[in-house]
Structure 1
Amino acid sequence: MKTLTLAAAVLGAATLLTGCGGDDDSGNGGGSAGDSSFTDQSAKEIADTAREAMAGLESVRVDGSITSDGQEIALDLAVSTAGECAGTVSIGGASAELLGTDGTAWFKPSDEFWTAQAGEQAQTIIDLVAGRWVVMPADDDSFGEFCNLNSLLEELVDSDDEGSYEKGDVSEIDGTEAIAITNTDQEDGPSVGHVQVDGDHYLLKVERTEGDDQGSITFSDFNEEVPVEVPAEEDIVDLNQLGS
C-alpha cells in the first residue's frame, strides 16, 4: 500500500495561504478598517496579536479547501491540544473520516480514497476493511498529526513568514467583524488573513484568490469541546493487518 500522504499534502498546501506573521512593519495601507483602538494598530501589531491568540487556543474547528498542483485539498476538522480530533480530510474528492483521542487515531476512508492511495491493492483492502474504522499505528503520523492542534497551527499560522503587510477593510466573517491583513510579498500571490476585531483577536479566515494555489481556510468553534465518540471494537480494523 502506498504511503498515506494526505495529511502532509493538506498541511503543506494550507501554509501557502498564511497571511499573518512575520517581522515587517510596513502595514498601514489598505482601505477603511473601522475605528476601534484595535483596528487603528499597524498591520504587524494586529498580526502579532492574532498569532498570540491562536497560540493560546485549546481547541478549534478548521474548515476549508485549497487547490494545489491542480488538486483540491479539503478539511473540516475539530482539533484540541489534548490530542482530540473529529472530522474529515480529502484530496481530489477522495475523503476519509478521522477521529482521535488519548493518543489513538482512527480513520474511515471512502472507496475512492483507497483506490487513489492503494493502487492495485485497493479492492483487496476495501473488502478487508468493509467500511470499518482503521486504527493508526502509534508511530504513523499520516493522520495522527491532525489530532495535534499545536502542530496544525504551526502549519496554518506560520510565525516565521516574512513579507510586506497592509491593513484592509473591516468585514463580516460568519457574522463576526474582522479586519483584513494582506501579505503582498508572496511569490505565489498575495494572501489575506481576517482577524476578529472584538473580544479575543482570533484569526477567522485565511484566503488566496490569485495565483496557482488558491483557496480559503476558516477557523471557528474556539475552545469548544471536540465531539469524539470512540468506535466500537467490532467496527475497528488494525492497519498492521492490512499490511500482511
Structure 2
Amino acid sequence: MRRRPAIQASTLVCACAVLSVAGCADSEPPGKRFRGKSADRIAAEAVRATRDAGSVRVTGAVRREGSAIGVDIRVDARGNCVGRMTGEGGRADIIRTGHTAYIRGNDKFWANAAGGREAAGSADRLAGRWVRTPAGQAPISGVCDKRGFLTAADGGGAHPKGMSKGETVTVDGKEVLALQRRTDDERTTVYVAAHGRPYIVKITQGKGAAKGDLNFTDYNEPVKATPPPADRVVEPAADLGGA
C-alpha cells in the first residue's frame, strides 16, 4: 500500500500559504505606499516583512483532490509552535519546543501516518497521550516552519515573479492591495496590508474545488509552547511510521 503521510505541510504549502496583519496603523494612503513600485517588488517586500515577523497565527483550510485540510497554528521565528491540524478524518494537536515535537492525534491521524495501516494496540496506548519525537522527523515537521508558508507568495524563490496589481480592497476589516498571478492551471492572489508593516494578510490559491485560503493574525504575539506533563508523554513506535 502506498505510504501516505498524515497531514503534510507540503500539501498546504502547495495549495496556499501565509500571513495576516496586526501592525501599527499609519496615515499613508495606500495609493502612495504602492506608487511607482511593480507588483513583484511589492510582493517581495511583503514576503520579507512576513518572513521577519516574530510570530504569527495561521488559520484556514484548503482542498486537495476533494479532501479538506485545515490548520490553526501559532509559530514563531525560533520554531516554537502550537496548534491543531485536521484532514482526511485525522486530527492532531501539536506542540513544538526547541528540537522536540509532541503530537496528540486521533486514531485516523496515526493510521494515515502509518501508511493506512491500523497500528496494533495504538488506540489504547495513545489515547489522550502525546507522542514525543525529534521535530525534524515528525509527520507535521514542515507545518512549524513559518518560512515554508511563504512558498505560494514567492514562488519558491527569493524574488516573486509574474505578479500583477489588482484592486485595493478590504479583507477582514483591513485595507489591502490584491496582487495576482495566473496560469492555465492555477490562480494566486496575495493580499498585502496597505497600512502599518506590509505583511501578507491573506493568500488564496487554486481554483474550483481545489481552491483554498489561509489567514494570518496575531503577529508578534508570544507563542506559549510548553511541553505536556511527563506522565502524558509516550515515545515513538515503529508501527506508527516513526511518529
TM-score range, shorter chain: 0.7 to 0.9
Taking only aligned residues, the RMSD between alpha carbons, in angstroms, comes to: 2.9
Greater shift in the superposed pair: 110-119 or 131-140: 110-119
**Amino acid in the other structure paired with 1:14:** V
Contact 2:15/2:212 (<8 A) preserved: no
C-alpha separation in 2, matches of 1:132 and 1:120:
20
Of 225-234 and 157-166, deviating more is 157-166
Query: Structure 1 stretch 137-146 or stretch 199-208: which is displaced more?
Result: 137-146
Query: Are 1:6 and 2:1 matched, yes or no?
Result: no
Which runs of 5 or more structure 2 residues have no equivalent in the other structure? 19-28
Equivalenced residue count is: 228
1:155 Cα deviation after fit: 6.5
Return the TM-score normalized by structure 1.
Answer: 0.80
Greater relative CO, 1 or 2 (CA 8 Å, sep 6+): 2
How far apart are residue 12 of structure 1 and its match?
A: 3.3
Gaps of 5+ in 1: 20-33
Alpha-carbon distance in 1 for matches of 2:16, 2:117: 35
Q: Please, what TM-score do these two structures have when normalized by structure 2?
A: 0.81
Q: Give the Cα–Cα distance (whole angstroms) in 2 for the partners of residues 234 and 114 of structure 1.
A: 20
CA offset digits 1:54-86 (Å, max 9, x no partner): 121221111111111221111110011212000
How much does 1:15 deviate? 2.9
Cα distance in 2 for residues equivalent to 1:141 and 1:114: 12
The correspondence for 2:189, drawn from 172, 189, 192, is 192
Provide the residue aligned with 2:201 in structure 1: 204
Instruction: Indicate the SS of the match to 2:190.
Output: strand
Q: Which of residues 138, 141, 151 in structure 2 aligns to 1:144?
A: 141
Comparing 205-214 with 73-82, greater Cα deviation is found at: 205-214
Instruction: Give the letter aligned to residue 145 of structure 1.
Output: G
Do structure 1's residue 94 and structure 2's residue 93 form an aligned pair? no
Structure 2 residue corresponding to 1:131, chosen from 128, 149, 154: 128
Q: Following the alignment from structure 2 to structure 1, what is the Cα–Cα distance between the partners of residues 65 and 5?
A: 14
Identical-pair percentage: 26
Q: Deviations 1:197-238 (Å, cap 9, x if unpaired)?
A: 111000010013624521101111111111223200001111
Aligned partners of 2:184, 2:16: CA distance in 1, in Å? 12
Compared CA separation, residues 211 and 162, structure 1 to 2 (3 A): farther
